[in-house]
Homo-oligomer: A and B are copies of this chain.
Amino acid sequence: MSLSGLIEDNRRAVEAEPSRARVVFKVGGELTGTTEVGLRARDHAITVDEPPSLGGQDAAANPVEYALAAIASCQAITYRFWADKLGIALDGVQVVAEGDLDVNGFFGFDDAVRPGFTEVRLEVRPSGLESPERYQELAEAVDAHCPVLDLFSNPTPVTRKVAVGV
């Protein structure tokens, strides 16, 4: 099925039963080494680790690199969906995501420094035979609808429970 067909199917399903629009995603796991973490998302295993400079054995990318992978891939996939939706031919999309981190925050050397990224830069290169104006239109539609760009750009309510001693 084409993506625009899938979008229309979703629109009909959500119109018939609004609760279908609400989806819960879940990932769980645990520390499996000094800094190595083994996680599962549905049937998919995800390994995370730190490089030796951050105490790990570099078995995999680290958490902030996975966050950048999330935004880069979300941009690429949202280009695909919205190109279909807007009828814009799209042969491919290349994406680079870079984030600046000041480790004074994470290590607690300076609590005036935030622990997370101070800035993130995205460079996106859509390819195909449409005019630059149409790809610009696409980029604007993508940026208004990309879930992980929204997560980065805007505050999300996070509740945290700690279960101790069980």
Contact = CB atoms under 8 A, between A and B. Distances in A.
Contact of A162 (B97, B115, B136, B156): B136
Given A29-B72, A41-B65, A162 B139 contact: yes
Q: How many copies are assembled?
A: 2
Interface in A55-76: 55, 58, 60-74, 76
Contacts of A73: 29, 37, 39, 48, 62-63, 66
Nearest to A161: B123
Q: Determine chain A's interface SS by DSSP, over half rule.
A: mixed
Given A107-B10, A109-B11, A163-B123, A31 B76 contact: yes
A126 to B, nearest CB: 6
B67 A148 contact: yes
A130 to B, nearest CB: 9
22 contacts: A1-B55, A14-B103, A14-B104, A22-B100, A25-B98, A27-B68, A27-B96, A28-B96, A31-B76, A39-B73, A63-B70, A64-B74, A64-B147, A81-B106, A106-B147, A115-B150, A120-B157, A122-B160, A123-B160, A123-B161, A123-B163, A152-B156
